[in-house]
Amino acid sequence: MQSVVSPADAADAADAADAYGATYWVICYIGQEATKRCPVNSPSKSPEMVAKGSSPIADITVVGGAGHVGIPLVLAFAEAGMTVNVNDLNEATLATLRSGKLPFIEHGAAPLLAKALAENRLIFTSSPTQIRGSGPVVVTIGTPVDEFLNPVTAAVQRCMDDLLPYIADDQLIVLRSTVFPGTTDWLHTYLARLGRKNKIAFCPERVVQGYGIKELREMPQIVSGTSPEAIEEAVALFNRIAPEVVVVAPLEAELAKLFNNAYRYIEFAATNQFYMIAKSAGADYTAIMKAMKHNYPRARTLPGPGFAAGPCLFKDTMQLAAFARNQFNLGHAAMQVNEGLALQLIADLKRSYDLANMTVGLLGMAFKAEIDDTRASLSYKLKRTLQTCAKDVLTADPFVTTDPTIQPLDRVVEQSDLLILCTPHSAYRDADFAGKPVVDIWGFLKNANVVY
Ligand SMILES: NC(=O)c1ccc[n+]([C@@H]2O[C@H](COP(=O)([O-])OP(=O)(O)OC[C@H]3O[C@@H](n4cnc5c(N)ncnc54)[C@H](O)[C@@H]3O)[C@@H](O)[C@H]2O)c1
């Protein structure tokens, strides 16, 4: 069943709908009416209660609150007037946040963090024992895939087992990370077996890394729950920070999240495969893309070629493949193309250059432009592979601070015989590479001696 309701009726609809197992949509808009009609936990404490020096009680807890998903979410809730318990096992990151600094690049987050700290809206805790109050508990701990590409679903159970003794029966639990399909319903059954009555919601995070603050303000939130009460509370919660909320059943929300990421991964694979076909035919893919897209709306969304990596796209595509009993041919093909691009590049370079007597400089070690996150970056796959065949491999990145082997750009340029643009950071676009040969599969560089 599917229905659409007006914003003003959204809360009532969430109330009335037979949420569990049914498919329906509720769209709410931030605004006085929606806020009035979607009440959940009482809004922010009065300024006196959260004044500096007092001990505020959290309106909401974000477990994993110091992570990449956690921080933008914490700051969005704080900006919406809530007092947030930032619960994270990583005490070093909590200390960084407490001191007013961000542990990684999150565009637009610094002023919100300063404001939230000044208003005493953040409580920092590093143990489940410090989860208090009656507000929702949002869990951002993800499901990794193991070395055989199977999802480690036990990670969610372990996390919940740690948290449960400190969560009251009336608290809403919101799964926010990407989970294996069926996890939300499993959690509902698991808690029921333990005699627990918690409301369970699954509201997947879909922001692009580094731009969570902007996207949380602009993008709809997918909300699902295992009971009408859970849905109602979760809808009201996300209406506080999002322009609209879309409600579906838990399995649909879990699949929607995985489909979003797998689709993106497949889009990158499509363009990367086209790039490799054009390259091996001796054709210029940049010129081909220009021709494909010029005043041709159906090709508008085709991305440019490049290294598609990071902690989510590969992992989520493989979770979906595992869920589909490994019958996800497009997903596996995307993985082969995207991961294979780096290896294909090196094979081609080996044919054209005497790599064994050359120093290769890698430009950009973050998994994508303008961020400092190296998790699952293909730059490191290139580095490891080149280390087996080149004389030496040097690396540069203007943002990454966690890799002590990274060197300044000018030194890498000076000491390298061949440069590879791994990440198209804007700082590289007009950089001076001293006429050295540069590999640029992105078609990104303006004034370089591009040889591949
Ligand atoms: N990074 C993104 O842009 C992004 C976007 C959408 C979805 N996701 C998904 O969100 C999930 C989290 O990803 P992330 O990038 O934020 O990871 P992350 O490693 O940056 O953050 C996870 C945080 O959880 C903390 N943590 C781990 N176990 C804990 C526990 N038991 N109790 C308290 N804290 C704990 C870690 O210290 C870390 O700070 C994953 O499922 C990921 O696929 C990530």
Residue 67 alpha carbon to ligand 1 centre in Å: 5
Do 157 and 183 belong to one domain? Answer: yes
From CA 232, how far away is CA 18, in angstroms rounded?
12
Mean pLDDT of 34-52: 35
Q: How many CA atoms lie within 13 A of 288 on its CB side?
A: 17
* Residue whose CA lies nearest to ligand 1 atom number 14: 68
Mean pLDDT of the chain: 88
161 has pLDDT over 50: yes
- Residues in contact with ligand 1 by the CB-under-6-Å rule are 63-64, 66-70, 87-90, 93, 140-142, 159, 162, 177-178, 205-207, 209, 311-312
Q: Is the confidence at residue 312, as pLDDT, over 70?
A: yes
Structure tokens at 251: 């399995």
- 179 CA from centroid of ligand 1 (Å): 12
- 178 CA distance to ligand 1 centroid (A)? 9
| 109 and 61 belong to one structural domain | yes
Instruction: Tally Cβ neighbours within 10 Å of residue 372.
Output: 19
Q: Do 150 and 288 have their domain in common?
A: no
406 lies in the same domain as 444: yes
What is the model's pLDDT at position 55?
61
pLDDT > 70 fraction of the chain, expressed in percent and rounded = 88
In the predicted structure, residue 21 carries a pLDDT above the cut 50: no
For the cut 80, the answer to whether the pLDDT of residue 73 exceeds it is yes
> How many A from CA of 404 to the centre of ligand 1?
24
Sign of CA dihedral 22, 25, 31, 33: negative
Atom in ligand 1 nearest the alpha carbon of residue 63: 33
pTM, 2 dp: 0.87
Torsion of CA 255, 261, 265, 271, to 10 degrees: 110
Could you report the per-residue pLDDT of 381-427, keeping only the tens digit for each? 999 999 999 999 999 999 999 999 999 999 999 999 999 999 999 99
Domain match, 211 and 356 both? no
Atom 40 of ligand 1: nearest residue by CA position = 142
Domains in the chain, number: 2
Cα–Cα dist 393/359, whole Å: 6
Q: Which residue's CA is minimally distant from atom 26 of ligand 1?
A: 64
Furthest C-alpha separation in the chain: 72
Of 140, 178, 206, the residue with max ligand 1 atoms within 8 A of its CB, to mutate for a pocket test, comes to 140
Beta bridge partners of 223: 247
Quick one: which atom of ligand 1 is closest to the CA of 142?
41
Same domain for 268 and 403, yes or no, is: yes
Out of 227, 248, 269, pick the residue that ends a domain: 248
Residue 219: the pLDDT is: 96
Lay out the sheet containing 245-247: strands in order across. Answer: 122-125, 84-87, 60-63, 137-139, 172-175, 199-202, 221-225, 245-247
1 lies in some domain: no
210 CA distance to ligand 1 centroid (A)?
13
Q: Among the atoms of ligand 1, which is closest to the Cα of residue 69?
A: 16
Q: Which of 62, 68, 73, 370 has most ligand 1 atoms within 8 Å of its beta carbon, as the pocket-test mutant? A: 68
- Let me know whether 182 and 282 are in one domain: no
Where residue 54 falls among pLDDT bands split at 50, 70, 90?
Answer: low
Compute the residue count for the chain. 452
CATH number at residue 241: 3.40.50.720
**Range scoring the smallest mean pLDDT among 42-56, 92-106, 287-301, 332-346:** 42-56
Model pLDDT, residue 11: 35
Of 248, 269, 304, which marks where a domain is finished? 248
For residue 426, which amino acid is it? S
Q: Judge if 179 and 44 occupy the same domain.
A: yes
Q: What confidence score (pLDDT) does residue 56 get?
A: 74
Q: What is the pLDDT of residue 14?
A: 34
Whose alpha carbon is nearest atom 31 of ligand 1?
A: 159
For residue 375, the enclosing domain spans: 258-450
Question: Which atom of ligand 1 is closest in space to residue 64's alpha carbon?
Answer: 24
Residue 2 lies in a domain: no
Q: How far apart are CA 416 and CA 85, in angstroms?
A: 48
Q: Which of 126, 177, 264, 316 to mutate to test the pocket of ligand 1 (most atoms within 8 A of CB)?
A: 177
